[in-house]
Chain A
């Protein structure tokens, strides 16, 4: 299987790109330190000579220079390079957390429903149906402020971790169903197979059967599904921040950079700004999806493309 994957050039390149993104995200503080800047400094006030009075960088292309590699953000003048790598870090951390939570929930509920069957299967199935029927995007937007306000005292600023936790919780609650359904179906099919019967006859406990017989057999759909889920969560997270209900300034975030890029100030004066978050996200999502395809092909070479 590993050999099959290595033969797939697209898959290998995509895997490299994805790994680079993760490395950048993990090492963002180190990179920023080596580069000597951070994404919170208001350069429009620190270095006013680089900006006009409306906060638009005076130099062409959004103030790209040897000092500011990706230029400066119109408005408050944050450094785009550090903002982008920190933004990638925020978005990826949130998405990985959501993916992990979703995978665990999906395994627990999906495999349980599939293996136990009967009333358990029925009730979990109805919960899945119910949650799938939710208009999730609308629910995100409506529930985020509510979730946030539950945790914060009225004189304090909403801490960033509250917003992060709220984002994770909201995406998790409405994100696990499809994976659980797939795992339920796979488990249902496996349950009737001879080796499970054999295990049952030899007196294995249900827990042991799930752990030793079923789980190894659902790894394939699990891996394939989660490589599709993660970029999906990245875009959802970015979408929420774009709409202003996710991570807010001054915490750097990928999606929030898009919302900044769509303001009239940036559109009219500094189109270059949109290039960096836009291109990096396209590369990331495309690479991750191609990686997902390759992983599936590697596991299951017979299925047609």
Chain B
């Protein structure tokens, strides 16, 4: 998923009334916290330990949370309103967090430890995480008994068929496309040719693609092996949609839900209320619990606002959380300095990795020496600083995040972990060897307060190495559209990308497969390398997850040492805070934020 992506950050700086403070003394900054090591250990534990669960693992109810009580209303402060509620359209992290409460898919991630660090993929609506007999080409799922939509109708294989067939309809254009591409055995948007109108004009997927022999059985049949299917099915975008209740475009505003909560009211941009879904059977659900009676969402709460409200901890905010807001950069060190406040926070990695793209379509950047010079010269510290320091960003080595299996903590191709402020001397030497001293470098930066801050300091660092840096502001609302244009003006620009599930197969192919270069594609650096392309094809066929993880990490190292089309900047982390009466407050590594499924009110 691309960070910001279609829903770019509404970077509204609040123009505080400029009251002049005539006197003022301030304490110095905080020392680096010791959270780092713990986060890294936790992330490490996660990457290797996800397994595919069997029928016993997939049986409900979910393990009870220690000390949990039923009842109460949870206040949820969110920055962005939910643009989509139709599962097929959900691909943005805050909507994915919401869907944990209202939608269910064939599989899901079950937390196997109380700290949110260990998971396995289990059957959610299905009895297990899926069975395959031919190395990932054919996958069979059986639906559980007693599963119902919130209107009381039972969930059958017809609904599952509808769920997947409607993804081919033209109005579904925001969600993930992995399974559609696998079913159609096509890349890019070509999969839509398989069923151009979806199921709405009487046509259906043939039984050699998707078979539903009876009410309980669903069989996926792919042309090539896709061992990642249980991961993919766990994405919110593949949650089940009701066949009878499918209202096409209107489903996006009022979907028929399957999770422990249903939507009582939703005022886009203002508020949302979730209440208990009485047709949800805890015995059928190994993943979720239903302690809270009601969820009251309020939107348009900026990070500063939600942090201050939850810090103040008064009235309704005592039972307040935010699913996606983090503690803002300005308050971060204050919150962590105070042990009382700190005890109400949780922290962990987000799936995103920041990277500075080097535009490979520019003739002057075809020389690898120049690209290496950029890589060595680029200071990463400005980026870390702009977002609140090491509690919010960790200097990156490779392109794979610590939450992705295969991550190698010792890989550090440009010495960024030792010299995060860059190595201008070495860069200058490389640039002199290339004979391009004082070459012009157009740096497109996102016009947010953070973007302005880090881009000026990064430009200062690059100038020291002998680049003539020209900074160009790009409006935040259209940032990703502008930089993903093929003939953009920018030599370097920063983007971030997160894995869709803990495997590099959702990171490296979309970003670096040269055959995907197109206007608006995510191959931002426009890299097209024979070896990378062929390795992507080869590794995608490896069925053993451990072996493929190792191969992906090798490809990551090849990209950064032999191609140098991007410079990794930082692994995104975040700290979230809750009111004092919120129980079961745990950071979940797979969700990449607070786990809403086990929250309760003390």
Which of chain B's residues have a CB closer than 8 A to the CB of A267?
A: 16, 330
In A140-166, which residues have CB < 8 Å from any B CB? 154-157
Tell me, in angstroms, the Cα distance from A278 to B384 when the chains sit together.
29
Tell me, in angstroms, the Cα distance from A248 to B472 when the chains sit together.
12
Which of chain A's residues have a CB closer than 8 A to the CB of B453?
A: 75-76, 249
Instruction: Give the contacting residue for A54; candidates B25, B29, B457; CB below 8 A.
Output: B29
In A40-97, which residues have CB < 8 Å from any B CB? 40-42, 44-46, 48, 51-63, 74-76
Q: Are B18 and A56 in contact (CB under 8 A)?
A: no
Instruction: Give the contacting residue for B471; candidates A53, A157, A264; CB below 8 A.
Output: A157
A interface residues, how many (CB within 8 angstroms) = 51
Kindly state whether residue B413 has any CB partner on chain A within 8 Å.
no
Task: Known A45-B460, A156-B470; judge A244-B29 contact (CB<8 A).
Answer: no
Which of chain B's residues have a CB closer than 8 A to the CB of A250?
A: 456, 460
Which of chain B's residues have a CB closer than 8 A to the CB of A59?
A: 28
In B1-59, which residues have CB < 8 Å from any A CB? 13, 15-16, 18, 20-32
Least CB separation from A262: chain B residue: B16
Which of chain A's residues have a CB closer than 8 A to the CB of B460?
A: 40-42, 45, 250
Instruction: Give the contacting residue for B421; candidates A48, A248, A278; CB below 8 A.
Output: A48
- Report which residue of B28, B29, B381, B421 has the largest number of chain A beta carbons within 10 angstroms of its beta carbon: B29
Which of chain A's residues have a CB closer than 8 A to the CB of B21?
A: 271, 274-275, 278
Which of chain B's residues have a CB closer than 8 A to the CB of A157?
A: 469-472
Kindly state whether residue B520 has any CB partner on chain A within 8 Å.
no
Least CB separation from A255: chain B residue: B18
Which of chain B's residues have a CB closer than 8 A to the CB of A265?
A: 329-330, 388
Q: Are A62 and B470 in contact (CB under 8 A)?
A: no
Instruction: Give the contacting residue for B30; candidates A52, A243, A273; CB below 8 A.
Output: A52
Kindly state whether residue B331 has any CB partner on chain A within 8 Å.
yes
Q: Are B29 and A249 in contact (CB under 8 A)?
A: no
Tell me, in angstroms, the Cα distance from A248 to B452 when the chains sit together.
9
Q: Are A274 and B24 in contact (CB under 8 A)?
A: yes
Kindly state whether residue A3 has any CB partner on chain B within 8 Å.
no
Minimum CB–CB distance from B439 to chain A (whole Å) comes to 13
Q: Are A264 and B328 in contact (CB under 8 A)?
A: yes
Least CB separation from A156: chain B residue: B470
Tell me, in angstroms, the Cα distance from A42 to B458 when the chains sit together.
9
Least CB separation from B23: chain A residue: A275
- Report which residue of B28, B328, B456 has the largest number of chain A beta carbons within 10 angstroms of its beta carbon: B28
Which of chain B's residues have a CB closer than 8 A to the CB of A57?
A: 28-29
Q: Are A278 and B26 in contact (CB under 8 A)?
A: no
Interface residue tally on B, bucketed by range? 35 or more
Tell me, in angstroms, the Cα distance from A271 to B330 when the chains sit together.
12
Kindly state whether residue B449 has any CB partner on chain A within 8 Å.
yes
Q: Are B20 and A282 in contact (CB under 8 A)?
A: yes
Kindly state whether residue B389 has any CB partner on chain A within 8 Å.
yes
Q: Are A55 and B331 in contact (CB under 8 A)?
A: no
Task: Known A274-B20, A278-B20; judge A58-B381 contact (CB<8 A).
Answer: no
Q: Are B390 and A242 in contact (CB under 8 A)?
A: no
Tell me, in angstroms, the Cα distance from A272 to B28 when the chains sit together.
10
Minimum CB–CB distance from A288 to chain B (whole Å) comes to 17
Kindly state whether residue A284 has any CB partner on chain B within 8 Å.
no
Kindly state whether residue B382 has any CB partner on chain A within 8 Å.
yes
Instruction: Give the contacting residue for A52; candidates B24, B29, B379, B469; CB below 8 A.
Output: B29
Least CB separation from A267: chain B residue: B330
Which of chain A's residues have a CB closer than 8 A to the CB of B243?
A: none
Tell me, in angstroms, the Cα distance from A278 to B28 when the chains sit together.
20
Instruction: Give the contacting residue for A263; candidates B29, B330, B461; CB below 8 A.
Output: B330
Which of chain A's residues have a CB closer than 8 A to the CB of B22?
A: 275, 278-279, 282
Which of chain B's residues have a CB closer than 8 A to the CB of A62?
A: 26
Tell me, in angstroms, the Cα distance from A52 to B390 when the chains sit together.
9
Kindly state whether residue A270 has any CB partner on chain B within 8 Å.
yes
Least CB separation from B454: chain A residue: A76
Least CB separation from A51: chain B residue: B29
Kindly state whether residue A303 has any CB partner on chain B within 8 Å.
no
Tell me, in angstroms, the Cα distance from A266 to B460 when the chains sit together.
22
Contact with A along B383-404 (1 / 0, CB 8 A): 0111011111000000000000
Which of chain A's residues have a CB closer than 8 A to the CB of B333?
A: 52, 54, 56, 268-269
Minimum CB–CB distance from A297 to chain B (whole Å) comes to 28
Which of chain A's residues have a CB closer than 8 A to the CB of B457?
A: 42, 44-45, 76
Q: Are B384 and A61 in contact (CB under 8 A)?
A: no
In B318-356, which residues have CB < 8 Å from any A CB? 328-334
Kindly state whether residue B442 has any CB partner on chain A within 8 Å.
yes
Task: Known A45-B382, A45-B460, A55-B385; judge A272-B18 contact (CB<8 A).
Answer: no
Contact with B along A234-263 (1 / 0, CB 8 A): 000000001110001110000000100011
Tell me, in angstroms, the Cα distance from A129 to B322 when the chains sit together.
52
Task: Known A45-B379, A258-B18, A274-B21; judge A264-B330 contact (CB<8 A).
Answer: yes
Kindly state whether residue B543 has any CB partner on chain A within 8 Å.
no
Tell me, in angstroms, the Cα distance from A279 to B22 when the chains sit together.
7
Which of chain B's residues have a CB closer than 8 A to the CB of A76?
A: 382, 385, 453, 456-457
Tell me, in angstroms, the Cα distance from A42 to B457 when the chains sit together.
6
Task: Known A75-B453, A249-B453, A264-B328; judge A44-B26 contact (CB<8 A).
Answer: no
Minimum CB–CB distance from A49 to chain B (whole Å) comes to 12
Q: Are B25 and A53 in contact (CB under 8 A)?
A: no
Kindly state whether residue B173 has any CB partner on chain A within 8 Å.
no
Q: Are B470 and A155 in contact (CB under 8 A)?
A: yes
Q: Are A56 and B16 in contact (CB under 8 A)?
A: no
Tell me, in angstroms, the Cα distance from A269 to B328 when the chains sit together.
13
Task: Known A53-B385, A269-B26, A270-B26; judge A262-B456 contact (CB<8 A).
Answer: no
Q: Are A272 and B26 in contact (CB under 8 A)?
A: yes
Kindly state whether residue B304 has any CB partner on chain A within 8 Å.
yes
Least CB separation from B17: chain A residue: A262
Q: Are B381 and A155 in contact (CB under 8 A)?
A: no
Which of chain B's residues have a CB closer than 8 A to the CB of A40?
A: 460
Task: Known A262-B15, A264-B304; judge A275-B386 contact (CB<8 A).
Answer: no
Tell me, in angstroms, the Cα distance from A227 to B55 when the chains sit together.
85
In A187-239, which residues have CB < 8 Å from any B CB? none
Instruction: Give the contacting residue for A249; candidates B25, B379, B422, B456; CB below 8 A.
Output: B456
Kindly state whether residue B265 has any CB partner on chain A within 8 Å.
no
Which of chain B's residues have a CB closer than 8 A to the CB of A41?
A: 460
Tell me, in angstroms, the Cα distance from A42 to B422 when the chains sit together.
13
Q: Are A61 and B26 in contact (CB under 8 A)?
A: yes
- Report which residue of A51, A52, A155, A264 has the largest number of chain B beta carbons within 10 angstroms of its beta carbon: A264
Minimum CB–CB distance from B446 to chain A (whole Å) comes to 14
- Report which residue of B24, B329, B388 has the largest number of chain A beta carbons within 10 angstroms of its beta carbon: B24
Minimum CB–CB distance from A146 to chain B (whole Å) comes to 14
Least CB separation from B471: chain A residue: A157
Task: Known A63-B28, A157-B470, A274-B21; judge A45-B421 contact (CB<8 A).
Answer: yes
Task: Known A75-B453, A269-B334, A272-B25; judge A48-B381 contact (CB<8 A).
Answer: yes
Kindly state whether residue B489 has any CB partner on chain A within 8 Å.
yes
Tell me, in angstroms, the Cα distance from A61 to B440 when the chains sit together.
39
Given pairs A52-B389, A58-B29, A60-B28, 17 additional interface contacts (CB within 8 A): A52-B28, A53-B32, A54-B388, A55-B389, A57-B28, A60-B25, A61-B26, A61-B28, A75-B453, A76-B382, A154-B489, A249-B453, A264-B304, A267-B330, A270-B26, A271-B21, A275-B21
**Nearest 6 interchain pairs by C-beta:** A264-B330, A54-B389, A56-B29, A53-B389, A52-B29, A271-B24
A-B contact pairs, 25 of them (CB 8 A): A40-B460, A42-B382, A44-B382, A53-B385, A54-B29, A54-B329, A54-B332, A54-B392, A56-B333, A58-B28, A58-B29, A74-B29, A155-B489, A156-B470, A243-B15, A244-B13, A248-B452, A264-B329, A265-B329, A266-B330, A269-B29, A271-B24, A271-B26, A272-B24, A278-B21
State the A residues within 8 Å of B (CB).
40-42, 44-46, 48, 51-63, 74-76, 154-157, 242-244, 248-250, 258, 262-275, 278-279, 282
